[in-house]
Every structure is written in C-alpha cells, then in structure tokens.
Structure 1
Amino acid sequence: MNEHEHDHMHPHTRLPEGACALVQGEYVPREQVEAVLTAVPARGAPPKGRGELRDQPPPTGSQHTTLPAERAAERQRRRWATQVVVADVLARRACAERGLRPPEAAPQGLRAVPEADVAGLGSIVAVVLAYSAAARVLLGHLEAHQAIPEEALWEYYVHNRDRFLTQDAMRRGVDPYGPSGGPLSEPAEPDFLPYEQVKAGIEGELRQAAGRRAFFSWLDLARADVVYAPGHEHPGDPSHPDHEHRH
C-alpha cells in the first residue's frame, strides 16, 4: 500500500472551530497546517513527483490560468498539508506506543526534500519525513526490524549483475549478462565484486525498501479513522468535487 491508497468512508464531521482533523480523540489545530503551507511555497515544493500535488498553484496575476483553477489548486495544497500534519501526530503516538525515544512535541521546521525521496516515496510521505522527527524515528525503527532472508540477498546479487561489475570490467566494456554481439566481452567471475563483499550493502538496500513498505502500511492503517474538517480531506478523497487521485 502507499500514500494513494486510503480510506474514503468518513463523512464530513463537524469539528471545533480552528481544528483541521480529529486524530484518536486529539483535535489538530489548523495553525499547524498553515505552518506547513508557509514552509512549502506553492511553486517550489513539494517537488513534482508521484504525489497528489503535481500541479502547483500559479503565481498571482497569471494570465494563463483562471481564478477557479487557482482556488482548486490551493484547496488541494491545504488538504495535502493536512496529511503531513496528521501523519506527524500519528507518528508521535506510534513512537510513544512502541516505547521509542519521544522526539520534540512538535516539528520545529522543514528539512530539504530530496527529489529522489519524492520519486520513491511520494510527495506526502517525503515531506512527512522531512517535517516530522517522530516519523523519521518510526521509519528507522521499522527498518531495523525487517528480517531479510539470505535467499533474497543472493537472488538480488544474481539478478542485478550490472551493479557489481569491477571498475576494470566497466572500463573494458564487459557485458554483465553475457556476449551481445558487439565490442562487449563475456564476463568472467573476476569481473564481479565478490558476493561476500557486497552482501552488507544489498541487505541495507533491501531492509530500507522493506522498512518503507512497512511505513506505508502503518500510515494507511493509522489514518483510517481520522476525521477531517471540510476542506481538509485527503487530496484523493472522491467525496469532494475537485479531488485528484493520481498514480
């Protein structure tokens, strides 16, 4: 599961003035959403990627976009920012439940968000991890508890031979998958880094990927019972007319 798979069952529920969501009995103030919107300029971030907000609001005064489109984009941005804030609240609760060292009560700022993280995680999760120390602690905890079997490590080594050519083999143009009829030569075992030498790196990559999948699953389950104020629903929730559900 990932950030695009979410629950649509909650109807609009009237929340107290100033609250954007209700998370396990805790009202989340809208001020936190405003802080995220301030930290993430409309045209600069989140970077374009797999997330719901590929289309950012245009600059004020644009002659190429109608005002209704601008308003729709800004509404989506607010819903997106609400997801970031809600994920932080959920992550802080999850850390407490697991006995993890509690991070600061509330985020103090927003780290830079690498383009690679947006491509691999989606815009919401990438910014959640940049925004929320609790989310980073939880992700680290989940990664550390992923067991990667030896068979998976060997299979990765065998099926990704191009990643383990030696520098000399790459300079000679060795084809890691065998002769191709061109100037490339057929690889021999000395052309590859030994399995035992690269095993730890492979395990780290696979553990990171498994930890991320565990984080996605946790987030989807954890936010299933969140109740949102009107205007703060998930960006892909089809119950509001200008939703965006992109993959």
Structure 2
Amino acid sequence: MAPSANIPWQEIYDVTLACGNVHERKAFSVEVLSQLKKLCDFDESLVYFLDGNGKICNQYLMNIDKHWSTMYLEYFSKVEGSFKIKNVRENSTKPMMNIRAWNEESSSDFISNYIRPRNLQYSLGFVLFDINGRPRTIFALDRKKDENFSEKEVEILNLIIPLLNNLHKNFFSQKTVSPGAEHISWETANLTPREIEVVNLLCKGVSPASISETLHISQSTTNKHIAHIYEKMHVSTRQELIVRLLG
C-alpha cells in the first residue's frame, strides 16, 4: 500500500533530525519518546535496554512507577525463567512493531495484576537493533483511553522506525574495538585496588563528586581513576562499564 498523501513528511524529518542530534543511547531513547508524542498519542512508556546477550541492562520509564516495571519483570521471569529476548532478529524489510488490544486478551494473572490496575487499553511496542541485527532497545507505548492506534499513526511509525533504527545502530559502531577487547572482564583488566573501589561506587550510581568525598581524594584524582578504568575496560560511559562488568 502506497503511503498516504497526508503523511506529515516535514514532521518526520524534524523528528529524525532532533533524534540524530543526540549521541548517547539512553538520551536518544528519551528524545525518541519526546518526539514521537508529536506524531502518535500515548500516555505512558517503558523502554528496556538490552546487552548483546538479550538481557536487560538498563531501563527508562515515562509516567510509570518503577513498581510496575519490577512487577512486569518478575512475572516474565516466573514464566520464562528470566527476562531475555530470544531468537529475535532484525527484518530489513519492515520494522518490528506490535499492537496489543488488552480488552481482547484472555484473562490471566498478568492481565488481572498488571494490565487492569494500570487501566491500560492498548500497547504499541517496537524494537531497535544494533549493527549485527540483535535487539538492543525495546519501546512500549501505552494508552489508557479506549481508542486504538489509528491507521495513520501506524503508517507514520512504519516510516519513522526504520530511520530511528539506522540512527540507533550508530551507538554500536562509533569506535573500533581492538582485538580481544570484547573478552575483557573484571579479572583481566588489571585494575588497581583504588580503581576497584572507584568501580564499585560507579556501579552503585555514586557520582564522581561523591566518590571524591567518600574516598577522601580530589576531584581531579577521581577523574583520572575513571579515565584509567574506562581505558582498561575499553568503554566510554558508565553504562558500557556496567554491561562489561556484568559480562
């Protein structure tokens, strides 16, 4: 089916341009949600970030209490054993997008304990992939009003998601990793005792300024330790560091 004549091409261009100006994956995903609100109405959103093995390494919630995400992951873990995306690969001809009409779903504990209390009526999910075709970021756009996503909204998303997916791939191709770097772990990085202290605090979400206070060292010394840690672990952000340490 040919695209409709009333597709807002200028808005799609503006959204793509705005998202393309963000150069960190989580910030990019937040911008995607902000921009999509201009083209597709939704009340809440949940984003899961996956590592190369399909396991969650981070999340972002928009208008959703963390309690609901925890409940969702616990439910999924009971059913599947763990929250891990299996056997999902990129389809180059069409975006991976799915709409669930919750009032048409069969009754279950999941519906009774998770969907109904949140008053969800419809959810639209889509996936963005890395350069190897592996799923790396999952979006769920939730609606509470009893009105399904329109054909025009779906058509717009079918056009814009491939563009966002191409931008998303850049987060996995920005730097060349030296041979063997993908096998670097906590045990093989040769971190000093002080660097291990800093790593522990970084992984707990402690800011560099607070690390300086905790370890009674200057801010510049803390920054040097962090730079050395990133260099040894072949990463450039805290998120990459945590994923590397989790193996």
TM-score, normalized by length of structure 2?
0.24
Higher relative contact order (CA 8 A, sep 6+): 1
TM-score, normalized by length of structure 1?
0.24
Q: Structure 1 or 2: larger strand share?
A: 2
Higher-Rg structure is 1
